[in-house]
Each structure stands twice: as structure tokens, then as C-alpha cells.
Structure 1
């Protein structure tokens, strides 16, 4: 059955992602404490918001299976906590905030490598001339979709930070995951490329019935391109729902310590205007 997600976009049939009672941290320090998240449904794009050190990246790593966690992360009927990293990676692809340096590969080679690393059981991606041609065709197609086909033969070590971020996005998308986790995927991009990436992620989520969860810092972009928003502060969920439900003057004051107005523009979208920083006692 199809589902009508937040904001009315029709999603493809598929498995929802449910996170209940999730806790995770480092050594003796717990960062995320008993977090319940909204049900993430196929075809939806969700933004994870919050200030620095709110626990966003730690939560993303736990969802990706890279961080030990307790609680439940269930994709359809499959419990993901406890799966091997390889089994987890077949379902969930994670693009980290920081990208590796000093990789002596071309852009095309790096995307082909990402595809082969996720190709267990895919007869179109394996040994032999036919499968190699199919793999290259998929890699070229995603580079064109991301808008960086002209960089295919460039070495990764010759790219700018923004170009490397787009390559990392291509590496994630070529895997065709059921769940795509992107940690600050537009932080190094100019405004035009930020909008291009957000549009592409939204389009592919709709087309593939993929669940996309993105850590973002730009509230305006989150409000425009997300079906749902989760706002974190100090490892706990402060607000979640549609952008209009989660991004309010009250939550912005509590989470970011700012005085802000949230209004609707003539096209119906949210406009967030930050007027001032609140005194510490007012933001608490």
C-alpha cells in the first residue's frame, strides 16, 4: 500500500524505519538517552536539527550501525541493532560529515568502488566484462544526476571541498540504499549546489521509495525541503513533526537560545527570521 507522508507527498510502498528507546554514547558518557523518533516512511525526507554537540552525528552513527547502541532500530520487521556491519550496510548507507583525505582514485573509480562494496548478491555488479560495463553505466548515471560527470576522471585529491562533498553524495546514492543518512551533506556547497542537492535527494527518495535523513544547520533549507523535522538538544528530542510543527519560536528559543519569528510566505512556505540572542536564563 502507498502511504501519504507528511506534507502530502505520496511515497512508494516499502518498509518504514522505527526507532524506539535508543541510547548510545562513548565509553562512560551517554550522549543519546532513550530517544524515540517519528516513524520514517519510504519516500520521505527528514531533517535532523540542533546546535553543536546536540548529539546529531552520534545519533546518525548509531542508526548506521557504526556506534554501539541499545533500544530498537527496526526497518520493517528487521531489527537492525545486532546485525553485522555488512548486513547493516546493505540496508543503510551513511555519508559522514568529514571525508577521507589522500585517496589516490579518480572520481569514477571511487564511485565504482562504493558500488562494488555494496553489491553482494547483485548479478549486475560482479566479475566479467558485462557486469563491469553495467557497473560503469550505473556510476556514470549517478555522476550525471549529481551534476559532476565532468569530474569523472579527476583525482579526488585535486578536488575542492565542495566537489569532494558531491562525490561522497554520489558514492552514497549509487548504492541505492533503503535508508540514506547524510551528515551535513551541503556544508561545503554554495547556495545553488545546496538547492540542487536537496532537490536531488527529495526526487530520489520519491522515485526509489527511499528514506532520507539529513543533518542540517540551515533552518530555512530544512523547512523547505523536509517532510519532517526532528530537533535535538543535549541528546534528547525537543520537537518533531512537520517543519511547521517543529520549528516554532518556542523551540528555537529553547534549542538555539534565540528570539525568532516563524511566518508563512506568500507561497505558503516557512520564513524563519532570527532577531536576537536570548539571555541564558531566558533560553533555559
Structure 2
């Protein structure tokens, strides 16, 4: 597997009636790293993720190694980049195992050396079972997707994304429906697999504490623009939290070296998150 960095420069994207992101450039995302996109509602986080995934038109440059991704067909884009949406589609009459196998078979072009026939099917089964076990939902393998809770469906979506073994994994709020234990399990798993596979993981998160603990890099967005980037300690500061979220906060180092973020109050005159002046 090639281990290429992801470079984003001069990226503009949006919708028919409104430009959300204009001429945005980001630090280099390197293989083996986990990065988090932070910011209030309507900051442009999910729009940026969808543009990186090739799911909506964009201009500028998104390079993986020397390969320009903007302009590729959706199929060619998906061979390199996998996108995990916030929720799975409803009304899908498949078992958990079948859905993960389907995701694997859809990415068969990523693995041209794979064998077909019964041997290939058995190999796919083993890969699907292995990722379900790693995600911690092997006991749900034969359950129908429509019988699962929101959190369980989110874990299935993660398994579908990971089984494809992408070079870039884009996760849109991957822990929003999970309890605290499963949030930590997912973050640990993504970090482990990024390092094992040389994969780049970029995720949208709302929990600043979790982002600070599990990310090598942070990108703080507000109204479609980058406010701060860098390590968690560089990007998550009282100043950036005041500018982006309109809150008064303290950021301290705990005894284990991580960041402790304490929000004390809303700043006077601060607009609701996502509001525009």
C-alpha cells in the first residue's frame, strides 16, 4: 500500500445558492495520523468533508501524493477515499454481515490481486468477520440493520468504511450516537488502524475533549474559513474558543499531559453557534 500525504489548497465549494467554503487551504495530512475538524454548526465541516470525498463539486486542488483528486470520477475517487456519513440509509433489508460484505465487494477494484470464486468469497467473509470483531459488533452479524439502535448502526457504518481499507478515511460525526465507552473504543480503533495501515483519518467532531485526546492535528473552522490549525494545544486555546464558539473557557494541561478544557460562560454579545453577522 502506498503511503501518500493529502494536500488541500485553494479549495472552494458550496451549494447552488450559496458558497460555503472559498479558497481554503489546509496543513498537510500525513499517513498514520488522525485529524479532527472542529467548529460550531454551519461552520462548513461536513461540506468540507463531502468535497474531500468527491461527493459535491469543488474547485482548487486536493492531492493524494502526486494524484489530483478533483476531477476524478466518483468511482476512481472512492478507490482512494472512503466517506462515512452521519447515519446509514433507512429501509435497507440486509443483515449486518451482508452490509459489510457489500461494502467490501464494492471496493473490489482496490484489491486487484484478490481471487474470485469460493476462495474469494471465503476470504471476504473472513475480512468482514475480522472487522466486525475489531469494531466490537460481531455478535450483531446476523441482525437486520433495521433492528439496530442508532448507536449500533453507527458502528456498522464504521465497519463498512474500515473493511474497504482506504488510504483516506473521512468520518462525519462518527461517535455522535454512542455512549462514552463506545466513543472511546471507536477513537482508539481509528487511531490504531491509521497507524497500522498508514491511513489518513479526518473526522468531524463536536466533543473538544475527545478531539484533543485522540488527534494529532486540529483544524478549527468558522463560517467556512480556517481559524486555527496545529496540534491540539496549538489550535484549542481560550482565544480560539472565544472567537469560534463565543465562550469564555480555560485550557489547562492535566497530570497526564493532555488538555483539560473547561467552559465557564457564554461571552456577552456572542451570537448562537452558526449564526452569521
- TM exceeds 0.5? yes
Alignment of 1:24-39 (within 5 A): 24-39=13-28
Establish whether residue 182 from structure 1 lines up as the match of residue 175 from structure 2: no
SS of alignment partner, residue 220 of structure 2: strand
Match of 2:119 among 118, 130, 135: 130
Counterpart Cα distance in 1 of 2:7 and 2:178: 31
Aligned to 1:263: 252
CA 1:204/1:45 → structure 2, altered by over 3 Å: closer, same or farther?
Answer: same
> How many residues are matched?
273
Aligned to 2:265: 276
Aligned to 2:194: 205
Counterpart Cα distance in 1 of 2:126 and 2:222: 43
Counterpart Cα distance in 1 of 2:246 and 2:90: 35
- Note the C-alpha offset of 1:179: 0.1
Counterpart Cα distance in 1 of 2:170 and 2:12: 18
Establish whether residue 216 from structure 1 lines up as the match of residue 205 from structure 2: yes
Alignment of 1:226-237 (within 5 A): 226-237=215-226
- Note the C-alpha offset of 1:279: 1.6
Aligned to 2:228: 239
TM-score, scaled to structure 2: 0.96
Establish whether residue 159 from structure 1 lines up as the match of residue 159 from structure 2: no
User: Over residues 31-87 of structure 1, what are the superposed CA-to-partner deviations in whole Å (9 max), with x where a residue is unaligned?
Assistant: 011110110000000000000000000000000000100000000000000000000
Match of 1:98 among 87, 100, 112: 87
Q: Please give the root-mean-square deviation of Cα atoms over the aligned residues, in Å.
A: 1.6
Alignment of 1:68-147 (within 5 A): 68-120=57-109, 122-123=111-112, 125=114, 127-147=116-136
Contact 2:175 2:186 in 1 (8 A): yes
SS of alignment partner, residue 41 of structure 2: coil
SS of alignment partner, residue 120 of structure 1: helix
- Note the C-alpha offset of 1:123: 4.7
Aligned to 1:4: none
- Note the C-alpha offset of 1:126: 6.0
SS of alignment partner, residue 81 of structure 1: coil
CA 1:84/1:141 → structure 2, altered by over 3 Å: closer, same or farther?
Answer: same
Counterpart Cα distance in 1 of 2:40 and 2:173: 13
| Structure 1 unaligned regions, length at least 5 | 1-11
| Structure 2 unaligned regions, length at least 5 | none
User: Over residues 186-217 of structure 1, what are the superposed CA-to-partner deviations in whole Å (9 max), with x where a residue is unaligned?
Assistant: 00000000000000000000000000001000
Establish whether residue 196 from structure 1 lines up as the match of residue 181 from structure 2: no
- Note the C-alpha offset of 1:28: 3.0
